[in-house]
Chain A
Amino acid sequence: MLTLKDISVGKTVKVVKLHGEGAVKRRIMDMGITRGVEVFVRKVAPLGDPVEVTVRDYELSLRKVDAQMIEVQ
């Protein structure tokens, strides 16, 4: 399974499905990462985590462990 965590900086991917449950998953969805949306991986923080992505025309930051819940293609 390819997840958002595996995507290198500068690539754009499409969200297939969100795994997991509860608060973090809901938060990720509320922030606009839902099935079918395009996500551009913008940069990685200087210490290697978290990552910054562009989704629905704005900048979002999330940790790599949480990015692992997001299946992409």
Chain B
Amino acid sequence: MSIKIALAGNPNCGKTTLFNALTGSNQFVGNWPGVTVEKKEGKLKGHSDAIIVDLPGIYSLSPYTLEEVVARNFLITERPDAILNIIDGTNLERNLYLTTQLVELGIPVIAAVNMMDVVAKNGDKVNTANLAKELGCKVVEISALKGTGVTEAADKAVAVANARRRMIPQHSFEGCVEHTLAHIEEAVLHEMPEEQQRWYAIKIFERDEKVMAQLNIPADIQKHIEQDIKACEDEMDDDAESIITNERYVYIGTIIKDCCVKKNKGGMTTSDKIDRIVTNRFLALPIFAVVMFIVYYVSVTTVGTVLTDWTNDTLFGAWIIPAAQSALEAIGCAGWLTGLLVDGVISGVGAVLGFVPQMLVLFAFLAFLESCGYMARIAFIMDRIFRKFGLSGKSFIPMLIGTGCGVPGIMASRTIENDRDRKMTIMTTTFIPCGAKLPIIALIAGALFGGASWVAPSAYFVGIAAIICSGIILKKTKMFAGDPAPFVIELPAYHMPTVMNVLRSMWERGWSFIKKAGTIILLSTIVIWFAQSFGFANGSFGMVEDMNDSLLAAIGGAIAFIFTPLGWGNWRSAVAAITGLVAKENVVATFGQLYGFAEVAEDGTEVWGSLAGSMTAVAAYSFLVFNLLCAPCFAAMGAIKREMNNAKWFWFAIGYQTVLAYLVSLCVYQIGTLITTGTFGVGVIAAFVIMAGFIYLLFRPYKESNKFTMNVSSVDAKAKAKA
């Protein structure tokens, strides 16, 4: 029979390194059910029957953050056979806080004190024998980085898992707390297996709403317990949660005194010295700008683009596609099949893979910034600006990368821990004009504004305004207002990440893009290809040479009326907006084809005249705004789907973007037309109503919630079924 071992520990304590050391390449990466938190499992090296489950990095088992709820739900419902608790030896005090909670679950615990090499180098001492006695579990000294003690820790975890001996916590709380806990166990939990009672009793004492809801305690018993808790709170002059937390830390204080000797108190470590410069009042922002410049310059401007262009233009454009084309023609393949394979499938695969090299370069940077400790400082430096719009200081990186390409920009949001901030960042990143939107800007500026220099900056202004307004509006909506976002974060000590860890993280993220986003990109490219190259010509359905005869043109004609209020309700613009979904720069080429040019320059000089004849300047600007803000290209949508990992949220994001684009463009056209020509009509009234609604949403009062409202019903149901 296989055994399951949970790997638990604080963030930044070397958990990932240990997990990699324990499992090697034998890993499976997925998501915890229904949430965006990453879940990793792997087979333990040398024990083919043991599976290690990597829990999210957490500081506590409180019910308030997504990671904590995910971790504790796993521990209490799945009940792994053992917990391997990794502890940062250089910071025992805070790390042991989680340990004191883990040992109460009744599941056998092995404590692995990590970074023992650093502890020794600092001249400090940790007496693990005493620690084991105090905690009541086995303690192993390890260095995950150097690989020492790792096998021993794994062997011990397997041994305790197989022995199935219950864990007995050594710590007891103050008299009146223990008294109340005993009451709770007797009144509510007596039917539960004995070793599980203590953890639940403490949670009930803390009035943990998620546990209370799960246990469904009868009202009269609940009232009775509440009296006990209240009495205890009065005696201790504090609230229940504080009593428990305080006592844990007091208990840890006594353990530390027994087990740990620190050599120098108060001296400056290397990390302190680095931090004094890097987050210095005056130097912090310039240094931040330089770091961001390097990341952008290498991953977007130079190396990343060179690689991506090579993949698109040379590998696919010059080699694979022509080769496939001639090969298929040589064997006498039907024209439509050649088209499907070459223009549909191979181009679709190219669209997916084209992003990968650039993304890998970016991910390597991100992994480095994260594991060296600078990422946490970015949040520290930028928090003040971004939190106003419901974003995290770390949202800066996705937005910056988004100016190059939205796809890696969205993928970069993975570094944001807070679920709400991350979703908000994913939804708003693509508002920033990416590289592929620049040709559209050039087209509109050239065709209708005589190449005016204000058009391009105004596009960026529109993008930034859309982000800021969306942030403010969305954070007040039901979807976002529910979950609190406490910004109380650890600033971990700086350290040099290992090459292996950086590469592994880079590859994991890149692969997950190929796998999860690839399908949607491929499928939608094929669908658009079909609509573009098939249609009715000369009275029969088949492949068409001229795009004017295609299904897509017919669809464009049918839906063009939707865009009439925006000022560009002609079928050519509608078709261009649709092909823009494949890749934004297609908008220009499509206009070219529709006006009868086989090939046009990047800014579409050839069609400027025809375009200027077909719409007014205001309408053209409205078209530009719509294309900037609406649903991004399929690749970016794939990335959104991957990062949201939830159909509801994916459609909410796409829907929000498109509706916002529509409304803003409508206002631009109607009010712009009113100003330039004085035409007043229903559309103008609608525009003013929309503006009023927009301003209301922007300024309506709201209060940040204190409750964390993750849906745990499915987990609870499972727990009940087991109980």
The residues of A that contact B487 with a CB separation of less than 8 Å are 50, 61-63, 66
B239-247, B298-306, B640-648: which lies at the interface: B239-247
Residue of chain A at shortest CB distance from B64: A23
The residues of B that contact A23 with a CB separation of less than 8 Å are 64-65, 484, 486, 706-708
How many angstroms from the CA of A35 to the CA of B239 in the assembled complex? 12
Question: Shortest CB–CB separation between residue A32 and chain B, in angstroms?
Answer: 5
Residue-wise, chain B 361-397 has the 8 Å CB interface mask toward A (1 for contact) of: 0000000000000001001110111010000000000
The residues of B that contact A63 with a CB separation of less than 8 Å are 383, 387, 487
Contact between chains at A56 and B239 (CB < 8 Å): no
How many angstroms from the CA of A28 to the CA of B489 in the assembled complex? 9
Most buried by B among A22, A58, A63: A58
* Interface members, chain B 71-91 (any A CB < 8 Å): 91
How many angstroms from the CA of A18 to the CA of B5 in the assembled complex? 37
Contact between chains at B383 and A50 (CB < 8 Å): yes
B275-283, B520-528, B543-551: which lies at the interface: B275-283
Residue of chain B at shortest CB distance from A53: B491
| Given A22-B64, A50-B384, 11 other A-B residues pairs in contact with their CB atoms under 8 A | A24-B484, A24-B488, A27-B64, A30-B60, A32-B94, A56-B91, A57-B93, A59-B491, A61-B487, A63-B487, A66-B487
The answer to whether B490 has its CB under 8 Å from any CB of chain A is yes
The residues of B that contact A58 with a CB separation of less than 8 Å are 91, 94, 490, 492-493
Residue of chain A at shortest CB distance from B98: A30
The answer to whether B3 has its CB under 8 Å from any CB of chain A is no
The residues of A that contact B245 with a CB separation of less than 8 Å are 26, 29-30, 34
With A26-B62, A48-B384 as contacts: A31 and B490 at CB distance below 8 Å? yes
Classify chain B: how many residues form its interface, as a range: 35 or more
The residues of A that contact B491 with a CB separation of less than 8 Å are 52, 59-61
* Chain A interface residues (CB < 8 Å from chain B): 18, 21-32, 34-35, 37, 43-50, 52, 56-63, 66
Question: Shortest CB–CB separation between residue A11 and chain B, in angstroms?
Answer: 14
Question: Shortest CB–CB separation between residue A54 and chain B, in angstroms?
Answer: 9
The residues of B that contact A18 with a CB separation of less than 8 Å are 242
The residue from B91, B384, B488, B489 contacting A47, defined by CB atoms under 8 A apart: B384
Contact between chains at A47 and B381 (CB < 8 Å): yes
The residues of A that contact B384 with a CB separation of less than 8 Å are 45, 47-50
The answer to whether B249 has its CB under 8 Å from any CB of chain A is yes
The answer to whether B59 has its CB under 8 Å from any CB of chain A is yes
The residues of B that contact A61 with a CB separation of less than 8 Å are 376, 379-380, 487-491
The residues of A that contact B62 with a CB separation of less than 8 Å are 26-27, 30
Contact between chains at B59 and A52 (CB < 8 Å): no
The answer to whether B480 has its CB under 8 Å from any CB of chain A is no
A-B contact pairs, 19 of them (CB 8 A): A22-B484, A23-B484, A26-B62, A26-B241, A27-B488, A29-B246, A30-B59, A30-B245, A31-B59, A35-B242, A45-B284, A56-B93, A56-B94, A57-B94, A58-B493, A59-B275, A61-B379, A62-B487, A66-B488
How many angstroms from the CA of A28 to the CA of B97 in the assembled complex? 13
Residue of chain B at shortest CB distance from A24: B486
Contact between chains at B706 and A21 (CB < 8 Å): yes
With A46-B285, A47-B385, A52-B279 as contacts: A26 and B64 at CB distance below 8 Å? yes
Contact between chains at A50 and B64 (CB < 8 Å): no
How many angstroms from the CA of A21 to the CA of B242 in the assembled complex? 10
* Chain B interface residues (CB < 8 Å from chain A): 59-60, 62, 64-65, 91, 93-94, 97, 238-239, 241-242, 245-246, 249, 275, 279-282, 284-285, 376, 379-381, 383-385, 387, 484, 486-493, 706-708
How many angstroms from the CA of A37 to the CA of B273 in the assembled complex? 25
Question: Shortest CB–CB separation between residue B72 and chain A, in angstroms?
Answer: 13
How many angstroms from the CA of A39 to the CA of B245 in the assembled complex? 17
Contact between chains at B706 and A22 (CB < 8 Å): yes
Question: Shortest CB–CB separation between residue B247 and chain A, in angstroms?
Answer: 9
Contact between chains at A44 and B281 (CB < 8 Å): yes
8 nearest A-B pairs in the assembled complex, by CB-CB distance: A22-B706, A30-B60, A59-B491, A23-B64, A47-B384, A29-B245, A23-B484, A46-B284
The residues of A that contact B93 with a CB separation of less than 8 Å are 32, 56-57
The residues of B that contact A31 with a CB separation of less than 8 Å are 59, 94, 488, 490
Question: Shortest CB–CB separation between residue B316 and chain A, in angstroms?
Answer: 45
Contact between chains at A52 and B707 (CB < 8 Å): no
How many angstroms from the CA of A24 to the CA of B285 in the assembled complex? 28
Contact between chains at B94 and A46 (CB < 8 Å): no
Question: Shortest CB–CB separation between residue A46 and chain B, in angstroms?
Answer: 4
Contact between chains at A60 and B489 (CB < 8 Å): yes
Question: Shortest CB–CB separation between residue A68 and chain B, in angstroms?
Answer: 13
Contact between chains at A60 and B97 (CB < 8 Å): no
Most buried by A among B279, B282, B376: B279
How many angstroms from the CA of A29 to the CA of B285 in the assembled complex? 31
With A32-B94, A34-B249 as contacts: A60 and B279 at CB distance below 8 Å? no
How many angstroms from the CA of A2 to the CA of B32 in the assembled complex? 43
Question: Shortest CB–CB separation between residue A26 and chain B, in angstroms?
Answer: 5
The residues of A that contact B94 with a CB separation of less than 8 Å are 31-32, 56-58
Contact between chains at A57 and B706 (CB < 8 Å): no
The residues of B that contact A56 with a CB separation of less than 8 Å are 91, 93-94, 249
Question: Shortest CB–CB separation between residue B452 and chain A, in angstroms?
Answer: 35
The residues of A that contact B489 with a CB separation of less than 8 Å are 60-62
Contact between chains at A52 and B380 (CB < 8 Å): yes
The residues of A that contact B238 with a CB separation of less than 8 Å are 35
How many angstroms from the CA of A66 to the CA of B363 in the assembled complex? 33
Contact between chains at B380 and A32 (CB < 8 Å): no
